[in-house]
Amino acid sequence: MAQIGHPMLAQMTHDEGARDNFIFSLKRHVSSTVGPGNRNLYFGKVLPALEKKYGRPPKNRHEVRKAMEREPYYQSWSALMRVGQEMMWDSVGESVDRQVDGLIAKYKKRRNKLGTVRTDPDFKVPRYLTAVDHHGMPGSYHTETREDDVRAGAVYDRGAFLFQIGGAGGVLMDARGQAMAAYLRENHPDFKPKRILDLGCSVGMSTLVFCDAYPDAEIHAIDPGAPLIRYAHARAEHLNKKIHFSQQNAEFTDFEDESFDLVMSHVMVHETSGTAIRNIVRETHRLLKSGGMMAHLEVPVRYKDLDLCEQAMRDWQTYYNEEPFWGGACTLDLCAVSEEFGFHDAEDGYQQQPRERFGPSSGFTQKANSSGGWWYVMSAVK
């Protein structure tokens, strides 16, 4: 499985490609082969020890995680996971730095040719986004060091392929959009949105899918990261997709009341704060026409569907991968939140992405935990 090149994708030299291949293999080995050993450790040693100590099974994932963190096997796995992540961003970042000026020039050349792009020099990126370097990506999504910077977008586009251990991402890294479109097609075949908004679009990987899924629709996409929005725009222009990108916070947008039929997001919820997600649901209700739909796709990790060992393993993201809202998102009942803000017919479940784009199995035992093309999707109607 390879990532399809497009004019905005930073090119790799032979040596950079070899280094990325090594990192890709290391990350896959650590997650698929070393990671599952933690289950043997837990059931063979840690669980019996906890039961002996307390005279009862562990109460929650935190008890399990703390006990696992004392084990050298877990510590080694955790260190390898973190090192793989840091190597990945270093490798991709160095490659992008070589060519970032050229990418900015390409952005400027195609600006506002088919779709549009709007950034706001006075925009205040929320603190819950500036406080961490998400998933270890230095500078996260918002950092700018030069005029018309696109670096964060270029790094994210290349890194996301390695990040997701390749296969699960799709050749244009659009697996999440493909899964969302399949969900809507299969479960709401008569729903034909005319105006669509994608929240937390990053570089527009998922957004692009909707140009083909609903060719008559007008498509908008927002994200607080200016370098992402610029890169997303240039990427879409070069791929001949008409999308209107703007730098905005999904909590408080400048769109008019009741102006969209579909407001959606792809893996945004786990990267936004618990307070923000409630604001976003409220704002989405304002933006939707009556009968319009809100839909969120997320990492396929609902803690309620997993045993405590899996929950504790997945919580590694919260504590060691700079994903502070991961655990909160994986325990959040989005259907209940949507009903709180006036939505009805809320539904959720797991959706398999279409086409032969499934990645290698993560080695974990439960379907909800598989990286083989499954995603969590929820929707609700205004």
Ligand X SMILES: C[S@@+](CC[C@H](N)C(=O)[O-])C[C@H]1O[C@@H](n2cnc3c(N)ncnc32)[C@H](O)[C@@H]1O
Judged by CB under 6 A, the chain residues 146 through 185 that form the site for ligand X are 176
Part of the chain binding ligand X (CB under 6 A), chosen from 47-55, 266-274, 298-306, 352-360: 266-274
Which pair of tokens denotes residue 272?
A: 């936004």
Nearer to ligand X, 134 or 382 (CB): 134
Q: By beta-carbon distance, which residue lies closest to ligand X?
A: 200
CA distances from 144 to 72, 119, 269 (A): 39, 12, 24
* Cα–Cα dist 171/321, whole Å: 25
- Give the residue with the Cβ less far from ligand X, 248 or 362: 248
Residue 277 burial by Cβ neighbours in a 10 Å radius (0-12, 13-18, 19+): buried
Our finding on whether 271 is near ligand X (CB under 6 A) is yes
Q: Does 357 bind ligand X (CB under 6 A)?
A: no
How near is the Cβ of 245 to ligand X at its closest, in Å?
12
Q: Which of 225, 327, 359, 373 binds ligand X (CB under 6 A)?
A: 225
CB 103 within 8 A of CB 8: yes
> Closest CB to ligand X among 46 and 299?
299
Q: Which is nearer to ligand X, 31 or 249 (CB)?
A: 249
35 or 224: CB nearest ligand X: 224
Q: Which stretch binds ligand X (CB under 6 A): 66-74, 94-102, 268-276, 342-350?
A: 268-276
C-beta of 150 vs 250, nearer to ligand X: 250
Q: Please, which residues have CB within 8 angstroms of residue 147's CB and are 6 or more apart in sequence? A: 104
Residues 233-252, interacting with ligand X (CB under 6 A): 249-251
Q: What is the DSSP string of 209-274?
A: HHHHHSTT-EEEEEES-HHHHHHHHHHHHHTT---EEEE--TTS--SPTT-EEEEEEES-GGGS-H
Which one, of 162, 205, 172, 7, lies nearest residue 99 by Cα?
A: 7
Cα separation of 254 and 250, whole Å? 9
Min CB(287)–ligand X separation in Å: 13
- Smallest distance from ligand X to CB 183, Å: 14
Q: Nearer Cβ to ligand X, position 81 or 129?
A: 129
Q: Which of 261, 262, 260, 241 is nearest to 116 (CA)?
A: 241
Does 266 interact with ligand X (rule: CB under 6 A)? yes
Candidates 272, 284, 338, 362; binder of ligand X (CB under 6 A) is 272
State the CB neighbour count (10 A cutoff) for residue 93: 20
Q: How many residues form the binding site for ligand X (CB under 6 A)?
A: 23
To ligand X, the closest distance from the beta carbon of 111 in angstroms equals 20
For residues 159-194, b (16+ Cβ closer than 10 Å) or e, as one string? Answer: bbbbbbbbbbbbbbbbbbbbbbbbbbeeebeebebe
Tell me, what amino acid is at 255?
F
Give the helix/strand (H/E) hosting 52. Answer: helix 47-54
Among 100, 103, 129, 213, binds ligand X (CB under 6 A): 129
Q: Are 260 and 136 in contact (CB under 8 A)?
A: no
Lay out the site mask for ligand X across 189-208 (x = CB under 6 A, - = otherwise).
----------xxxx--xx--
267 touches ligand X by CB under 6 A: yes
Minimum distance, C-beta of residue 151 to ligand X, in the bound complex (Å):
14
- Based on CB atoms, which residue is closest to ligand X, 85 or 206? 206
Determine, following the binding rule CB under 6 A, whether residue 262 of this chain makes contact with ligand X: no
CB 44, min distance to ligand X, A: 35
In the three-class reduction of DSSP (H, G, I as helix; E, B as strand; rest coil), residue 177 is classed as helix
**C-alpha to C-alpha distance for 81 and 30, rounded to whole angstroms:** 7
Q: Which is nearer to ligand X, 34 or 132 (CB)?
A: 132
Contact 302, 332 (CB under 8 A): no
Please say which residue, 58 or 159, places its beta carbon nearer to ligand X: 159
Figure out which of the listed residues 141, 245, 341, 374 binds ligand X, where binding follows CB under 6 A: 141
Asked if 164 contacts 202 with a C-beta cutoff of 8 angstroms, the reply is no
Binding site for ligand X (CB under 6 A): 129, 141, 176, 199-202, 205-206, 222-225, 228, 249-251, 266-268, 271-272, 276
